[in-house]
């Protein structure tokens, strides 16, 4: 684009530790662009995406003694540092069960997805009450969102044990397999079940779930839908603006 020259939006790039899963990482990078207020290319935030699907499964590591993803995630962070990142976003909720270890692996700021979701609830004027959470078995079992929500003054509710498999796992697995249309119904059932138990908002607490429940279909639910991809993207945009 010719004409007046614009200064870079930020002095350093946002590093995105993706690949968990790869479509979620790519979607996060896309949403960074779509949610940034910009008139020209140069108004956007420079990003570096490390979309490495070789990182071992996070739920298996936490719940079944599988290979730890931490060494691979730490390698990804070092790669992003070497590439010139000024802060790190990790668009994977279950990866945040290792959040303190990830922070300890770098001198760069690492944005917290659960804190970003709490900020997004407030952005939607949900400041108290029951908030439902959908997510991976590990995210739910180990209380990532329950802790963050309760510390912020909300009452967290999660799916019944059988519903975690039928609603959350089925939908997440469909997205990871590229079967986006098939992911809708189990996720929708999960949202409806939480609303029936009094949730005024539901957190899509796995970054596959916003793909299963696309924006144009969210009006079907009688609750606020809080999208962990968008929440983290908005937090990253705000952080980069503050650093400019």
The tens digit of pLDDT for each residue in 50-75 reads: 999 999 999 999 999 999 999 999 99
CA 114 and chain centroid, separation: 8
Other beta carbons within 10 Å of 209: 29
Q: Is the domain of 104 the same as that of 123? A: no
Domain that holds residue 42: 13-112+231-243
Q: How many domains does the chain have?
A: 2
Q: Is the domain of 127 the same as that of 107? A: no
Q: Is the domain of 172 the same as that of 197? A: yes
Q: Is the domain of 167 the same as that of 89? A: no
The tens digit of pLDDT for each residue in 123-145 reads: 999 999 999 999 999 999 999 99
Indicate the SS3 state at residue 11: coil
The model's pTM is 0.94
d(CA 129, CA 4): 49
The tens digit of pLDDT for each residue in 149-193 reads: 999 999 999 999 999 999 999 999 999 999 999 999 999 999 999
Q: Could you tell me which residues are beta bridge partners of residue 14?
A: 47, 87
Peptide bond into 161 cis (omega under 30): no
Q: Is the domain of 122 the same as that of 22? A: no
Q: Could you tell me which residues are beta bridge partners of residue 131?
A: 156, 201
CATH of the domain at 177: 3.40.50.1860
Question: Considering Cα of 119, then 120, then 126, then 128, what sign does the dihedral take?
Answer: negative
The pLDDT assigned to 62 comes to 97
The pLDDT assigned to 95 comes to 98
The pLDDT assigned to 244 comes to 61
């Amino acid at each position: 684009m010719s004409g007046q020259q614009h200064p870079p939006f930020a002095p350093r790039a946002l590093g995105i530790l993706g690949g968990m899963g790869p479509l979620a990482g790519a979607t996060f990078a896309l949403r960074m662009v779509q949610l940034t207020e910009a008139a020209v290319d140069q108004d956007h935030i420079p990003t570096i995406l490390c979309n490495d699907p070789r990182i071992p499964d996070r739920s298996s590591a936490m719940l079944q003694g599988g290979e730890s993803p931490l060494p691979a995630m730490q390698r990804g962070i070092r790669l992003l540092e070497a590439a010139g990142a000024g802060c790190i976003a990790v668009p994977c909720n279950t990866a945040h069960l290792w959040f303190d270890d990830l922070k300890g692996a770098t001198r760069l700021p690492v944005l917290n997805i659960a804190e970003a979701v709490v900020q997004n609830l407030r952005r939607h004027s949900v400041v108290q009450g029951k908030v439902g959470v959908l997510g991976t078995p590990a995210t739910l079992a180990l209380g990532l969102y329950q802790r963050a929500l309760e510390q912020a003054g909300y009452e967290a509710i999660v799916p019944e044990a059988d519903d975690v498999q039928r609603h959350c796992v089925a939908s997440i697995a469909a997205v990871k397999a590229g079967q986006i249309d098939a992911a809708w119904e189990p996720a929708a059932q999960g949202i409806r079940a939480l609303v029936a138990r009094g949730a005024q908002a539901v957190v899509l607490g796995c970054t596959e779930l916003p793909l299963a429940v696309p924006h144009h279909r969210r009006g079907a639910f009688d609750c606020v839908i809080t999208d962990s991809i968008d929440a983290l993207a908005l937090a990253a945009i705000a952080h980069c603006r503050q650093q400019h």
